[in-house]
Chains A and B, each alone.
Chain A
Amino acid sequence: MARLNSPEELIAFRQEILSKRDPNTPCISVCVGTGCLASGASEVFAAFKTEIEKQGLTADVDTKGTGCPGFCERGPVVVIYPQEICYLQVTPGDVPEIVSQTIKEKKVVDRLLYVDPITGEKAIHESEIPFYKHQKRNIICQNIKIDSRSIEDYLAINGYSALAKVLSGMTEDQVLEEVKKSNLRGRGGGGFPAGRKWEGSRNAPEKVKYVLVNADEGDPGAFMDRALLEGNPHSVLEGLIIGAYAIGAHQGYIYVRQEYPLAVENINLAIKQAEAYGFLGKNILGTGFDFTVDVHQGAGAFVCGESTALMAALEGRAGEPRVKYFRSNVRGLWNNPTVLNNVETWANVPLIINNGADWFTQFGTEGSKGTKIFSLVGKITNTGLVEVPMGITLKDIIYKIGGGIPGGKKFKAVQTGGPSGGCIPEELLDLEVDFDQLTKAGSMMGSGGMIVMDEDTCMVDVARYFIHFLTDESCGKCLPCREGLRQMDKILTNITEGKGKEGDLELLEELSETVIAASLCALGQSAPNPFLSTLRYFRDEYEAHIKDKRCPALSCKELITYYIDPDKCQACMICLKKCPVEAIDGGKKKIHIIIQEKCTNCGTCFEVCPSRFGAVKKISGEPVPSPIPEKERMIEKAKKNE
């Protein structure tokens, strides 16, 4: 492949690619993102390749391994083009039927379609599925259309046209103005206006400047950046090169979490391809602009998602943040002006350049323009990645897109912003999701993790979970964070174990004040948020744990007891056999009783009791009922009717 030496050559080459592609050629797109791979997508992909070859169709049908389209709950996801028929939860066993029915006979395989759980209606096309219908998929829609390892697929969907536009016809200031006009705010958590950040670096006098991609994505439950970096790595590169041009940087780094091996692989491949085609390196597209980019892997530290800690890691040091009394866009990597932005922020840039800031600002709210990709996870029917315009209500995300809470359970809260964020309760479901509204409600946008919780989730435990997470992830340099979290972790753990006491909540609030006010970096400064927000909306749960030694959600292990309801027990012996510590007494037709002294509260009996009996109960804050007399434990046939 010869390097493209000018924007004109790029246009001609793109034409050439498109002319060789017939849009009517059937194409089987199989998502091979990490999520679907874990559900067996590579076997499905291999099965398609084999079957297509077997049927002699290799020349007539394309089979692509693509990036993540977001409907992770129903993976492996397969979309058949050009009809855009969407099949869900495909197994290798379904493949011959799909090939013979859909590819050859152009017929739909009904049983693999999406079925609306309420109306029973089937949806053939991606766009008809409620999960997708209510989204605004400006960025993530590309994932299913391209083989993430093919630069030519990216070029075929107009890839690198924004870069060409910039390098051949826009000054650095013009690019900057467009990004400023778009009001693009950082998608990694801070929500800082990208244009303003770029401008600070642009105006700095130093010659050497850097641009960085923050692909650490440490917030547990968030995997948007993984999907973008795995699925469409060139879109991120393109945005990065444009940003580098705007501020005058010639070296960039992509810092990727090492827990994402596929993303590391795909971005490294994309860089090699971009270099070969002339989009990276010296004299890009013959316009005289030089830019190289290298990939650095993370090594397992959440704190390295913080910008100054990330830069410390790039410098080969421990990820200890530094104070931001001087901003890193002025004094950053090796004390040079550095623009660090999140993966999704960079991915927005080519769209803004190609479609214009005015196009971008038509989406979103006054203070938060554009769309945002959220990872909708937890107790939700449709787990996956959703891209929505800023300003959509939480209710719409959770119910219209997410399909509500599974198992007939009641919604309790949605946690946003990761360990820096908070929980939003039911009464605020009409909240219009944007940076400022979430902050006002005591949470924050964060990187986009949206963890849905139901009536079985203990909110005290949620606070404990996040604080505990941070005791390990804190760098440990500054006193308020290290020691403050240590003490908060102890108190919250005690509360969940029934050892809470009067004054605990006040002490936690006092500690929170100091941790927020005196910590060195944003990790510490935002660490008490999950506690403060759960206290604000779920104070009654804290009080039940402390005063009544009761967990209202029946979740905290030390505060619950398992009990078999003698009226419901059918003595089927399933729980008896599965109990890992033989703590269940009973026999065939003899009502089972849990021997409390032996019980370890593992919950296995609760899990395995057949739902039609539902005999195993969890109780909290009240004494276990005395066992029924021995003679009443035998089940007579006549008594129980199913």
Chain B
Amino acid sequence: MSEIRLQIDGKEVTAREGMTVLEAAQSAGIFIPTLCHHEKLEPFGGCRLCIVEVNVRGWTRLVVSCVYLVEENLVVRTRSEKIDRIRKILLEMLLAHAPESPQLQDLAVEYGAKRDRFEKEASFCIHCGLCVRYCTEVKKKNAVGFIDRGIRKEICFIPEIALKECSDCKECFPLCPTSYLQAAYVLTESLGPVSGPTVRPVKK
């Protein structure tokens, strides 16, 4: 694999072809905040916190560094007024779901994100997808998945699989930045095996 030379925050960085900008930055000791990234999992590009500014062939654009591949002579900025503004408001929207999350609180301090900028939301889930992806890609059990879309998107355990597999595993639990995953599992466990639709029943 050939070597690629790029610049991150003014620093010369050497990377291998096929690496993402995030990987290149991490290898050079440059910190970029992430939430949905995990070295054992395929890049997800969902939280957008790792957003950076890249300049290639005269064009400047904002890209997510966990997905964007390194290019020769790429110039990367990991902080800017705009990037910081974006990260701040992303964190504020996340804090509306999970204000107690230590990970979010630490990042909030760095970016001046206010915990109660937005009204508290009912669901703790911040959709980093780590639990779903870990169970699919690493454990290959598919015990938990996504349901629905848009603002109604949620995670959902498959009761038959979860009751069989999860009590001996629970490897996804420490991945969850909030306490939602554990809560969702406990609820599934308490409901026991279910026949018929496991998705939210219709309100009558």
Tell me whether A and B are bound partners: yes
Within 8 A of B (CB), among A158-197: none
Across the interface, which residues of A come within 8 angstroms of B74, CB to CB? none
Across the interface, which residues of B come within 8 angstroms of A517, CB to CB? 51, 62, 82, 86
Across the interface, which residues of B come within 8 angstroms of A487, CB to CB? 93, 96, 118
Min Cβ gap A447→B in Å is 21
- Asked if B151 contacts A486 (CB within 8 A), the reply is yes
CB < 8 Å neighbour of A475 from B64, B82, B94, B149 = B149
- Asked if A511 contacts B89 (CB within 8 A), the reply is yes
How many Å lie between the Cα of A322 and that of B151 in the bound state? Answer: 19
Within 8 A of B (CB), among A478-531: 478-480, 482-487, 489-490, 510-511, 513-514, 517-520
- Asked if B151 contacts A482 (CB within 8 A), the reply is yes
Number of A-B residue pairs with CB-CB distance less than 8 Å in the complex they form:
99
- Asked if B69 contacts A480 (CB within 8 A), the reply is no
> Known contacts being A479-B94, A518-B90, is A325 close to B150, with CB within 8 Å?
no
CB < 8 Å neighbour of A483 from B85, B86, B93, B149 = B93
Fill in one digit per residue for B26-59: 1 if any A CB lies within 8 Å of its CB, else 0: 0000000000000000000111110100000000
- Asked if B90 contacts A476 (CB within 8 A), the reply is no
**Which of A466-474, A571-579, A621-629 participates in binding chain B?**
A466-474
Q: Check A323 for interface membership: any CB of B closer than 8 A.
A: yes
> Known contacts being A472-B151, A486-B151, A517-B62, is A323 close to B46, with CB within 8 Å?
no
Which residue on chain A has the smallest CB distance to residue B129?
A477
Q: Check A428 for interface membership: any CB of B closer than 8 A.
A: no
How many Å lie between the Cα of A478 and that of B150 in the bound state? Answer: 9
Q: Check B153 for interface membership: any CB of A closer than 8 A.
A: yes
How many Å lie between the Cα of A483 and that of B153 in the bound state? Answer: 11
Fill in one digit per residue for A303-314: 1 if any B CB lies within 8 Å of its CB, else 0: 100000000000
How many Å lie between the Cα of A476 and that of B149 in the bound state? Answer: 5
- Asked if A479 contacts B46 (CB within 8 A), the reply is yes
How many Å lie between the Cα of A478 and that of B85 in the bound state? Answer: 17
Q: Check A595 for interface membership: any CB of B closer than 8 A.
A: no
Q: Which of B47, B90, B149 has the most CB of A within 10 A?
A: B149
- Asked if A482 contacts B90 (CB within 8 A), the reply is no
How many Å lie between the Cα of A520 and that of B50 in the bound state? Answer: 13
- Asked if A474 contacts B85 (CB within 8 A), the reply is no
Fill in one digit per residue for B61-86: 1 if any A CB lies within 8 Å of its CB, else 0: 01110011100000000000010011
Q: Check B148 for interface membership: any CB of A closer than 8 A.
A: yes
Across the interface, which residues of A come within 8 angstroms of B68, CB to CB? 323, 325
Q: Check A301 for interface membership: any CB of B closer than 8 A.
A: yes
Which residue on chain A has the smallest CB distance to residue B118?
A487
- Asked if A474 contacts B48 (CB within 8 A), the reply is no
Across the interface, which residues of B come within 8 angstroms of A489, CB to CB? 151
Across the interface, which residues of A come within 8 angstroms of B48, CB to CB? 478-480, 518-520
- Asked if B86 contacts A318 (CB within 8 A), the reply is no
Q: Check B16 for interface membership: any CB of A closer than 8 A.
A: no
CB < 8 Å neighbour of B67 from A323, A472, A473 = A323
Which residue on chain A has the smallest CB distance to residue B89?
A514
How many Å lie between the Cα of A492 and that of B5 in the bound state? Answer: 47
Query: Which residues of B are at the interface with A, using a C-beta cutoff of 8 A?
Result: 45-49, 51, 62-64, 67-69, 82, 85-86, 89-90, 93-94, 96, 118-119, 121, 126-127, 129, 146, 148-153
Q: List 5 A-B contacts (CB under 8 A).
A: A472-B150, A473-B150, A476-B152, A479-B93, A513-B86
